[in-house]
Structures are given as structure tokens and as C-alpha cells.
Amino acid sequence: MFRKFVFLLLLALIVAPALVAVAQEPQGLPVEVPGGRENLWVFDRIYRLPTEADWNIWKSGIHTAFFHALMHETFWNRDQETGEFIHALAAADPVYNDDFTEMSVELRQGVLWTDGEEFNADDVVYTIDALRNKYDGTQGGWQVQLNDFDAMVEKTGEYSVKFTIGRPNPRFHTLFESRWNGIYMMPSHVAAEVEASLAEGENLSAWVWDAEDMVVLGNYLPIDWDENGYWQLFERRADPENSLAGIITGGSGPPYALGIWYGNENIKKAIAMSRGELDVYFDVDIESFETTLDTAPTARSWYKDFPWAYPNEVSSRAMAFNLEGDSMAANKDVRWALALAINIVELQSEYIGGVAKVTPFNIPPTAKLYELYHGPLEQWLIDLQIDLGDGEMYNPYDPTVPDQIAAWAEDYGYTVPGEPREVFGTGWWKFDPDAAEKLLMKAGMSRGDDGRWLTPDGELWTLDIQSDPSENDAYRMGQAAADMWSEFGVDVNFITLDRSTWTQNHRVGAFEVSTPWQSFALASGDMWPNVRGYHSKYYAPAGEDYNPLGGNSLRRQQETVLDELIDAMEGVNPVSQEAENIALAHEFVKHWVENMMDITTIAFKKFVTWDEKYWTGFPTAENPNYQPLYWFMGGKFAIQNLTPTGG
Amino acid sequence: MNLLRTYILPRLLQWVMVVFVGITATFLIPRLSPVNPVDEMLARMTAFQSMDPDSFAAMRESTIALFGLDKSPIEQYITYWSRLLQGDLGPSFGNFPRPVSDIIATALPWTIGLLGTATAISWTSGVLLGALAGYYHNRRWAQVIERFVVVAYPIPYLIIAFVLILIFAAWLQWFPLVGGARGDPGFNWEYISSLLYFGFLPALSIVIGATAFRFIMAKSLTTTEIASDYVQYAELAAVPKRKIMLYYVARNTMLPQVTDLALSLGAIFEGALITEVVFAYPGIGFITYNAIYNGDYNVIMGVTLLSIVGIATASLLIDLLYPVFDPRVRLR
């Protein structure tokens, strides 16, 4: 009896999985749509965020990720691949008056809200008024910025508006220029009705916008979602040709789009793609990407073959120094020594897999930014000299780095798809431990009997590097630096921290060397918006949080030269005075590099990878019409161009 | 009346003290963390965009006020208790202004469903098999089960979970990679079967280790128990083995098992973070993890409140029910 019972129990444990599996069609997607998989485009959601039935995107706190590009529009988009300034809801560039107190915008005609109403100047006027006066705080800091600029808008025609800016600013339009977010237009005919129905004392922050009531300018509307945040399902509007993305691209996009979160483990995205349950993922580590290539025969990334990954997201990774305190790294010669103790070819190839572009300063060498920065500054970099001590001058820049990486790739049997500089970026600092040694000696340091470096006080020199593993390449860059500096004789502590603690340490200056990422320049090349926070007026001493001041005092820098350049850039129109603006930006870069305030190594790369089993038409290196970064606002154009393969 | 005063009332007071101290500690601990919920939220809201520093500082100030964090810790503490006593857990900072109670209500049924079922299965099978294997320890089948358990128990949970995913989701592709169910919730076979389908692997991963643990415990208790004089006497008296097993041995080994069951059920409210992460299964664990990561004080306090009340209540119930199971306690 007991034997039978135990046998049956064990049998049940073994057979139950099969029975449960048989009871269901073995299909792991959480939704089904009319027409099946051939009508459904499935994308990787990046984050898991609890979803509630409120799509009032303007109010403070609402998560915009993943659906902003599908549903919302602003005046202009900046394409990160081409650098192109795309006219979205605006029909032309912004037009400023001479003292930048007025900005006129001509609106695009013929863009329809999903309820058939045409977008016009009334929507703009309503949006600005609502954001300034009818919310308790808004998304993206739009309310405080509009109020800070004392921005008013008036309708000058059915399809034209004029902004009056109380605080003159030649870059006011960037509030409406989206890379990730921009001020999204509200359907005035809907929002005004909602406003009228609010209870006394309530404002639009109390507006809960149900999916079934939504009216948008984008190509998709939400129809179903998981409240626990694993997925959201969108349906294409009935008239995709009247959406902005439809008008610009001429495409209609997949009938349904499902954003799904497979978890933090990269390998699960690879498994999902191999099962045909994911059409595109935004990034994985190289090992999971190789698994995808092995298990999903129709999958690819930006390049069909090596180096595969998309190399042009506008950001770069650097070893940043805390310039304040007792750290030896507060000494410029020490920082230069550390730069010359890094073998960038080995870092880029052995640690990063050869799949990212090298850059010596915090601007990624995209086509547009290379043209504006790396190309024009190349000769200056070649001529740059540093003092190794005793008057010995030294040229640290090595312009042959891309060729060396190309040689490494060819040794591995890879074919380099283009000129080494197009694929692997720019030159970098020479790997020269002898020169690095001289610089440390100049700084008063010496080697101990065991070859380890000692401080001028004769103490063992210990250098702490903090890094966050969730940014894979930045973390690997930090590991490479730790290995190479240890090899050079530095006692390095490599400290792994979770993102929150690591970021908080940045804010209060509780680090010695860290691995952040940033770009000084926008995709357009304009620098001031990204560096204005480095001004000394936002300086906070180490130990104090810089966030309450609003700027970026991560490095605790106080550089009068930089302050003057930032002030000068502020008054220059980045479009009509581009040459003057970029010249100032070059000076900023030069000062930063001469003082080696960061050791910048590589640009961002993303293994944004798509499977062409069900959908094709994603931008590629062969057809770089739009950025493939579908999670940014500009990603909508790539989505709109997708066509079914027939599965 | 004497029972109420000497036995029940002290335990009820103890329950109140545990909950009060627990909630107070939960209020203080996140505030000692370096993670600031306002900065985390603003970092998300302003990601990938360049913002005027002065405007950012102004927005930060207004957000601090919006969250009520501009008040002193004492004021915040009093506000929290006054809200709590009205059944309001406040808004989530990470998903502002969504109420914490709404977030917990969305996630909790999944956790209760998964962990409740897994605990029930693992407790029943572990205790039963362990007791049988302990009593019939010389039988072949008992030795086979024990060897399996000895091998399975030390394997880290994460390894078991990934092996299940690799076999059943990646290789055989029998089970899904993400989610808790498919379709609209309802009491129909389609939805219930999808619940089983999506929940099977996560549940199995928990059941394997939990069953092994309880098997070992039950077998050990049974092995000790069968060496007792009363068992040997019963066997000499030719009492049927099944009766000895079920009515004497099993009953006497149940006390620690019941304690374990009650505490395990109480601990359900802590969630199963690793299971949720590995299997991308909904539940309270990931909500808690995210809240700690983002300094979302109110969510941390909401979830911890549940956990404290759950475990304290389970302990109280054990205390109150022990006399029912164990006459010796009753006599004392």
C-alpha cells in the first residue's frame, strides 16, 4: 500500500510537468492577437515597471519608458545615428528674434489625433498653459523649466505659434527636441473637457486617463497590460498614414506591438529570441549575443558580422576622478600616468570584445560628432605635449589605435567592415609605462622594494575604483583599468556597488575613481546643455550632496576656464552660430583633456538585436536610415518601417 | 477567565509590541539608507535629457515637499501612524502617485498563490515521505528517496531554478519564460490551466528544496521517535505498524512540523524574490527589492508591515493552538 502510494507520488511529480504542458499550447507569450504572431511585433521592455491604468503622461511620476515613442509627439526629434534634426510636429526649424526672447514655430499640417481631429496651434497653447498652471509638477521638469523661462505662447495662425521667453535663451527649443523625452502635445479638445469635469480644487494631476479614452498623435494605443509590469500590448491606430511617423516614413508599422520584460538575465532574452517570442532586444552581454547567433538563425545586430553591435548611442564611458581630497589622483600628473598605463587596444579587444569605438574624450565618434569634434581636433591631439618632468616634453597621443584594433580583429579571423576609424573610433593615448613612471616620479612617488608604488610619504599607494555592474561595458572597462594599473604597480581595490549606492556616492563625492558615462555633446554637437551643470556655481565640496544645487559636481571640479567657456556658450545660438559654438566647445574639450580630468575610453555600444523571422526592415549598417534605438523617441521611425516576412 | 488573563492576554500584548516595534524599525531603517527616493525618481524622470540646473533644484525641492519628506522624522512618523490607522499606506514614491495598497494588492495574490501552494505541497509531501522513510528506513524505496533528497537538498536554489529553465523552457520549450498567466482572470478552465502552466516551474523549483528540507526534518524526528519506549512496547504488543505509525509516531513528530508550517505560511508575505526574478513571475518579492533599491519608503513599510503582521500572527496562533495539539502544554 505504502509502496504504491510512494510510487504514485513520484510518478505524479514526473508526469505532472508533461500533463500541464500538454494542457496548454506550448506558447510562452502572455497574449494572443488577431492574426497571430505574424501581426505582432514583440520588443524588449528593458525595465519592469508596475503598470496602472493611467496614461496621463504629463503628470509627475508617470513612467514614460517604452510607450512615449509609440504614442506621443513633440516639435522635433534628433536622430542619434544621423544627427539629423527631424521636423516632427514643427514644419521647420525654430525661428528666434535677435535677443532670443521670442521663438516662432511653424506647425506641421495634416497630422491627426486618433479621433480624427487635426493637430493645430490650439493644442500647443493649451499644452503650455496646462503644464505651467494646471499640474502639481510635471514629467521631465517641464513645469519648472517653462516657469523658470517665464515662457508664454500665443497662437499666430491656425498652424503657427510664437513663444515669448522671459529669460532669453537661444536653446529654448530643446525643451521640444526629443532624444528621450520632449514636451508632448496634449489634445486640447479632450483635456479641456476633462478639466471642466474635475472637482473643485482639483487640477490635471488628478486626471486619470483610461486607455479607452486615449487620443494620441502617435501610431499606437494601449489595449492591454500586465499590472505587475511584465508586458504592455499596443494596437496600431486605424489610420496609421495620419500619424506623424506614418507621414514622415510612409510606413504603417506592425498591427500590434507587445513590450515584454524577460528579466535581468541576458540569457533569457537570448532564449526568448530562440523560441520566436522576441523580435528585438535592446542589449545583452557579448556571450548572450553569441548564444542568439547560435540559436536564432535569422537574428542579427547593426553589422551582419563582426563587430555586430550598434556603436553610435550618444554617450561614452570614462574613469572619472574625484579631484578633491587626499587622493593622489587629484594630481594631474598622476592622472596622466594612469592614462598612459592603460593599453587601450587590449581594453577594447580583450575586455570589450572589439565591439565599441574608442574615443579620448567624452564625446562618442558618431558620424556627425566625429565631423564636428574628433576630426578637427585630431591634429591638436597629435601635437599635444605633456611635461614628464625635468623639462622632457612628450606627445601622448597615438593616432594608430584603430589600425591596431583592426589588426587584432584580422588576427582573430574577423573581417573589418570598413575603414578602421569608421568601425573602431579614433586614436587614443599611447600605452607607455615608462612615460607613466616618469610622471609618477614627477609627482613625488617612488617604487617600493616589491615594485609597488609608494606615495611621497612612503606609504603604499592604494587606489579605489567603484563600479556598477549593471552597465556591462563600464564595469568591464573598470576591471581592465584595475588589472592594468595593478600590473603597473598600483595597489588597486576594485569595488562593486549596486546602482543606487554607486550613484549616491557620486552625489556626495564618496569615491576616488568611478566609471560613469556621459557625452559632453548632444547628437547635434551642441555642448552647453550637457556641460552647464559643470559650472563652479554648482560646486559642492566632497561630503556634501551636489543634487540640491541642480548641477553636476561629480568630480568636484572648480575650473575658471571651464566656467568662462560655459558662460560664453550660453549666449550663442547653436544653429545660426554653430561655428562659434563648436569653437568654444573645442576649447572646453582641450582644457578637459590637457588636465586629464577623465580617462575616457570607449563610446556606448548596444547589442540591439533583432530576429527577422517575423519582421524585417530594421535599420542596419548597410541601410542606416534611422537610429535602431527603438526605446528612444526617434526609434518610432524604425518601428514604422517594419514589414512582415510572413513568418 | 484565568486562561484569558494568564495565557491569551500576555500573548496578545506581545503581538501588539512586536508589530509596533517592527513598524517603528521599518520606518527608521530606510531613512538611514544613503538612497534618496526623490533623487531616484528625478534621475528617472530626467534621464537622457539635459535639464537646467536651477530648474532641477527647484523641482527637487517641490518633489521633497510633495512626498512630505521636508518635514522632520518625528512629524513623518506621526503622519505615517495616523495614515496607517486609517488603513492608508500612502503613495509609492517610485510609482508616484499610485497607492502602495494598490501595488501590494496587485502583487500579493500571486505570492500567496505560488508560495501557499508550494508550501502546502512541500510540507505535506516532505512530512509524509520523511515520516514513512523514517519508520520504514530499511525499505529499498525509503533509501532511494533519501538518496535523492540528500543530493537535491544542498543544491543552491538558483542552480535548481536555472536548470529547470534550461531544460523545460530553453531546451524542451514546454513552459514559458515570463509571466503568471494568460488571458483575463476568471474561474474558467482556460485561465486556471494557464495559471498552472505559468506557475508550474516556479512552484516546482520551490517545492524541490522545501520538500527535501521537510523530509530530512521529518525523517530525523521519526527516527528519534521510533526508538522511544512506547513504540517498542506497541510493537511488542503487536499493535499494527500502520497504527503505530499514524496514530503515535506521526502525531508525536507533528509539533515542530506544525510550528514550521505556521511560520512558513506567515513568511509568505516576504515573497520569493529569487523565484520571481529568475522565472519573471509576479509577486511581492520583486516589489520589495525595487522599493529598497529606489528608497521607496512607503512600499518598503507596506510590505514589511504585512510580513511583520503575518509572522507575528502565525507565532500567536501557534502559541494559542499549541494546547490543542499537545495536552502537556494544556496541563501546564
CB-closest option in A17, A60, A271 to B96: A60
SS3 A353: coil
Q: Given this model, what pLDDT does residue B31 score?
A: 86
Stretch among A51-65, A386-400, B131-145, B214-228 having the lowest mean pLDDT: A51-65
CA distance A511 to A553: 13
Report CB contact under 8 Å: A532, B57.
no
User: Quick one: how far is CA A626 from the chain centroid?
Assistant: 16
| B46 in a structural domain | no
Choose the mutation target among A66, A228, A526 for the interface with B, i.e. most B CBs under 10 Å. Answer: A228
Look at chain B and report how many structural domains it folds into.
1
CA distance A2 to B136: 10
> How is chain B split among helix, strand and coil, in percent rounded to 5?
80, 0, 20
Q: Given this model, what pLDDT does residue A10 score?
A: 54
Rounded to the nearest angstrom, the minimum Cα separation between A238 and chain B is 24
Rounded to the nearest angstrom, the minimum Cα separation between B286 and chain A is 10
**Cis status of the peptide bond prior to B97, with omega within 30 of 0:** yes
- Given a cut of 70, the residues of chain A with pLDDT beneath it are 1-27, 50-52, 62, 64-66
Count, in order, helices (H) and strands (E) of chain B: 16, 0
Terminal CA-CA length for chain A? 53
What residues of chain A lie within 8 A of the CB of B136, using their CB?
2
What residues of chain B lie within 8 A of the CB of A145, using their CB?
51-52, 55
Q: Given this model, what pLDDT does residue A26 score?
A: 47
**Do both A430 and A546 map to the same domain?**
yes
CB-closest option in A140, A262, A274 to B178: A262
What residues of chain A lie within 8 A of the CB of B31, using their CB?
none
DSSP string, B34-82: S--HHHHHHHHHTTTS---HHHHHHHHHHHHHHHTTTS-HHHHHHHHHH
Q: What are phi and psi of B315, to 5 degrees?
A: -65, -40
Report CB contact under 8 Å: B50, A522.
yes
Report CB contact under 8 Å: A501, B179.
no
- For residue A625, what are the contacts with CB-CB under 8 A and spacing of at least 6? A619, A637, A641
The boundaries of the domain holding residue B236 are: 108-331
Q: Among A610, A644, A322, which residue's Cα sits nearest to residue A466?
A: A322
Whether A544 and A599 have beta carbons less than 8 Å apart is answered as no
Q: Given this model, what pLDDT does residue A54 score?
A: 83
> Using one digit for the tens of pLDDT, what is the confidence trace for A374-414?
999 999 999 999 999 989 999 999 999 999 999 999 999 99
* Crossing angle of the two packed helices A560-570 and A578-594, in degrees rounded to 10: 170
CA distance A248 to A425: 31
CB-closest option in B50, B170, B196 to A20: B196
Report CB contact under 8 Å: B48, A63.
no
In the chain, the amino acid numbered A641 is N
CA distance B317 to A288: 49
Report CB contact under 8 Å: A30, B48.
no
Handedness of CA B77, B81, B82, B86 (dihedral sign): positive
Choose the mutation target among B92, B178, B275 for the interface with A, i.e. most A CBs under 10 Å. Answer: B178
- For residue A167, what are the contacts with CB-CB under 8 A and spacing of at least 6? A148, A149, A150
**Cell representation of residue B78:** 506621526
CATH number, domain of A108, equals 3.90.76.10
Report CB contact under 8 Å: B174, A49.
no
Report CB contact under 8 Å: A17, B200.
yes
Handedness of CA A69, A74, A75, A77 (dihedral sign): negative
Count, in order, helices (H) and strands (E) of chain A: 21, 28
| A597 in a structural domain | yes
SS3 A573: coil
Report CB contact under 8 Å: A230, B179.
yes
Flag whether residue B62 sits within 8 Å of chain A, measured between CB atoms. Answer: yes
Report CB contact under 8 Å: B49, A49.
no
DSSP string, A104-167: EEEBPSS-B-TTSPBP-HHHHHHHHHHHHHSSSSBGGGHHHHHHHTTEEEEEEETTEEEEEESS
Q: Given this model, what pLDDT does residue B318 score?
A: 84
Compute how many other C-beta atoms are within 10 angstroms of the C-beta atom of residue A643. 12
Element (H, E) at A352: none
Chain B, nearest residue to A534 by Cα: B53
Query: Angle B84-B88-B94 (CA atoms, 0-180°, nearest 5)?
Result: 110
Rounded to the nearest angstrom, the minimum Cα separation between A407 and chain B is 35
| B133 in a structural domain | yes
**Do both A373 and A501 map to the same domain?**
yes
Chain B, nearest residue to A526 by Cα: B50
Touching A: B residues 214-233, CB under 8 Å: none
CB-closest option in B35, B66, B175 to A500: B35
- pLDDT of B331 higher than 70: no
Whether A520 and A527 have beta carbons less than 8 Å apart is answered as yes
Look at chain A and report how many structural domains it folds into.
2
Report CB contact under 8 Å: A501, B35.
yes
Flag whether residue B117 sits within 8 Å of chain A, measured between CB atoms. Answer: no
**Do both A340 and A462 map to the same domain?**
yes
Choose the mutation target among A1, A2, A15, A172 for the interface with B, i.e. most B CBs under 10 Å. Answer: A2
Which among A206, A221, A253 is the end of a domain? A206
The boundaries of the domain holding residue A118 are: 73-206
CB-closest option in B66, B193, B287 to A136: B66
Report CB contact under 8 Å: A17, B175.
yes
Report CB contact under 8 Å: B178, A272.
yes
What residues of chain A lie within 8 A of the CB of B193, using their CB?
20, 23-24
Rounded to the nearest angstrom, the minimum Cα separation between A126 and chain B is 22
| B14 in a structural domain | no
Report CB contact under 8 Å: B280, A20.
no
> Using one digit for the tens of pLDDT, what is the confidence trace for A431-481?
999 999 999 999 999 999 999 999 999 999 999 999 999 888 999 999 999
> Using one digit for the tens of pLDDT, what is the confidence trace for B6-50?
888 988 999 999 999 999 998 998 888 877 888 888 887 777 777
**Do both A317 and A171 map to the same domain?**
no
What residues of chain A lie within 8 A of the CB of B286, using their CB?
48
The ipTM, to two decimals, is 0.84
Flag whether residue B301 sits within 8 Å of chain A, measured between CB atoms. Answer: no
CA distance B211 to B123: 6
Which among A185, A206, A227 is the end of a domain? A206
Touching A: B residues 138-177, CB under 8 Å: 139, 141, 145, 165, 168-170, 173-177
CATH number, domain of A512, equals 3.10.105.10
CATH number, domain of B128, equals 1.10.3720.10
Largest CA distance in chain B: 90
**Do both A196 and A331 map to the same domain?**
no
**Cell representation of residue A121:** 496651434
| B34 in a structural domain | no
Element (H, E) at A387: strand A386-387
Report CB contact under 8 Å: A144, B197.
no
| B5 in a structural domain | no
| A642 in a structural domain | no
CA distance B76 to A417: 60
Choose the mutation target among B33, B46, B50, B296 for the interface with A, i.e. most A CBs under 10 Å. Answer: B50
Flag whether residue B199 sits within 8 Å of chain A, measured between CB atoms. Answer: no
**For the sheet containing A76-78, what is the strand order?**
A85-87, A76-78, A177-178
Query: HEC states along A446-511?
Result: EECCCCCEECCCCCECEEEEEECCCCHHHHHHHHHHHHHHHHHCCEEEEEECCHHHHHHHHHHCCC
In the chain, the amino acid numbered B183 is G
CB-closest option in B48, B59, B95 to A180: B48
Rounded to the nearest angstrom, the minimum Cα separation between B233 and chain A is 23
- For residue B138, what are the contacts with CB-CB under 8 A and spacing of at least 6? none
Whether A70 and A219 have beta carbons less than 8 Å apart is answered as yes
Q: Mean of the pLDDT values across residues B133-143?
A: 90
**Cell representation of residue B140:** 529499498
Q: Given this model, what pLDDT does residue A514 score?
A: 97
| B65 in a structural domain | no
Calculate the dihedral angle through the C-alpha atoms of B13, B16, B21, B24, rounding to the nearest 10 degrees: -150
- For residue B273, what are the contacts with CB-CB under 8 A and spacing of at least 6? B285, B286, B288, B289
| A287 in a structural domain | no
Q: Among A59, A86, A92, which residue's Cα sits nearest to residue A73?
A: A86
In the chain, the amino acid numbered A517 is W
Pairs across A and B, CB distance < 8 A: 207
DSSP letter at B95 equals T
Report CB contact under 8 Å: A137, B62.
yes
CA distance A49 to B106: 13
Residue with cell 528674434: A97
| B94 in a structural domain | no
What residues of chain B lie within 8 A of the CB of A17, using their CB?
168, 174-175, 200-201, 204
How many Å is the Cα radius of gyration of chain B?
25
Chain A, nearest residue to B58 by Cα: A144
| B115 in a structural domain | yes
